Amino acid sequence: MSTEAPRPTTAREIVATLTDASLEEAERLIERYAEDPRKQVRHAVEVARRRTARERAERERVLSMYAMQRRLGGGGVVVGVDEVGRGALAGPLTVAAVCLPDEPVIWGINDSKQLSPARREALAARIAEEAVAVGIAHVEPASIDALGMGACLRRAMAAAVADTGLEPDCVLIDGNPVHAHPAERCVVKGDAQIASIAAASIVAKVTRDALMVAFDGEYPGYHLAESKGYGSAEHIAAIKEHGLTPIHRVSFCGNFLETMRLF
């Protein structure tokens, strides 16, 4: 006795089935109902065809990121690295390092700047579940003022890789050479091209954003939750009115104050 679910027959049932179908099932249903003469079904098939084309292109985009990771990283342990907060006026420089397995693929992974906050949060949680290892490093504003961004970036990237607990055969870094690791390989716009770098960009962004939201409660009036420490008009106006807090980078804020006053 067959246990296969009955096929939808009415136009309404077919439309509902097409709307809720997974990518693979929708593609089968499109082929099945492509010649259906009913107007409602024809419209639903066309909508499903556009949706599946978008989903198929998105899958190909993500798979290409994993393929490039394998091509550049070789067969050994590969760690992707990215930073956030380099240009901020307040808060730390944050670096994440992520090692991803080939499977399962994390669908939707992308440069964090291309994702909504809710999507970044969801993907960060998935990365935490599926990653072989994740490392995080922060550099506080006082160190940035004392040492400069270049030295701090190099130190933070090395620390984030070390925090994974791995001995990577290849360290893929977004941007230009940093000289943070002997196995470093840099890729301009790598956060949009390589899965592990994209994962690192998401983890770094979500981690630092949470810190800035917490700082907003500690230093109210600076709009840190909204600006994340970057130079928004509201943040700059608050600096001019109230002076600097201990989490501001003095070396970044000289243009906004004639005399700097600590909070």
Task: Give the number of other Cβ atoms within 10 Å of residue 71's Cβ.
Answer: 9
**CA dist 251 → 21, 27, 255 (Å):** 55, 57, 9
pLDDT at 199 over 60: yes
pTM (two decimals): 0.86
Identify whether 1 is part of a domain: no
Whether the Cβ atoms of residue 192 and residue 99 lie closer than 8 Å to each other: no
How far apart CA 3 and CA 19 sit, in angstroms, is: 23
* 107 lies in the same domain as 180: yes
* 154 lies in the same domain as 220: no
**DSSP state string for 33-57:** HTT---HHHHHHHHHHHHHHHHHHH
* 179 lies in the same domain as 236: no
Identify whether 198 is part of a domain: yes
If DSSP codes are grouped into helix, strand and coil, which group holds residue 8?
A: coil
* 79 lies in the same domain as 165: yes
Give the model's pLDDT for residue 25. 85
Count the domains in the chain.
3
pLDDT at 185 over 80: yes
Listed range (51-55, 105-109, 198-202) with the worst mean pLDDT: 51-55
Give the model's pLDDT for residue 257. 67
Quick one: tokens of 27? 């593609």
How far apart CA 182 and CA 13 sit, in angstroms, is: 60
Which candidate, 142, 126, 185, 194, places its Cα nearest to that of 161? 185
Task: Describe the strand order of the beta sheet including 133-139 as a list of residue ranges.
Answer: 133-139, 93-99, 78-84, 170-174, 184-187
Identify whether 251 is part of a domain: yes
> 90 - beta bridge partners?
248
Task: Band the pLDDT of 20: cuts 50, 70, 90.
Answer: confident
Pairing of strands 78-84, 170-174: parallel
More confident residue, 4 or 27: 27
pLDDT at 259 over 50: no
Task: Give the number of other Cβ atoms within 10 Å of residue 87's Cβ.
Answer: 11
* 124 lies in the same domain as 45: no
**Average pLDDT in the 18-41 region?**
83
* 61 lies in the same domain as 149: no
Give the model's pLDDT for residue 260. 46
Q: Which residues of 124-160 are buried (b: 16+ CB within 10 A; e: fewer)?
A: bebbeeebebbbbbbbebebbbeeebeebbbbbbbbb
Identify whether 3 is part of a domain: no
Q: Render pLDDT for 135-145 as a digit per residue (tens, 0 to 9).
A: 999 999 999 99
* 135 lies in the same domain as 43: no
* 38 lies in the same domain as 130: no
* 66 lies in the same domain as 81: no
Identify whether 33 is part of a domain: yes
* 160 lies in the same domain as 87: yes
Which candidate, 70, 88, 61, 71, places its Cα nearest to that of 193? 61
Identify whether 210 is part of a domain: no
Question: Position of tokens 């992707």?
Answer: 80
For the chain, the average pLDDT equals 91
How far apart CA 251 and CA 228 sit, in angstroms, is: 18
Q: Render pLDDT for 57-110 as a digit per residue (tens, 0 to 9).
A: 999 999 999 999 999 998 899 999 999 999 999 999 999 999 999 999 999 999
Question: For the chain, what is the radius of gyration of the CA atoms?
Answer: 24
Q: What is the extent of the structural domain holding 188?
A: 75-205
For the chain, where are the E strands, in sequence order?
78-84, 93-99, 133-139, 170-174, 184-187
Q: What is the CATH number of the domain that holds 106?
A: 3.30.420.10
* 187 lies in the same domain as 229: no
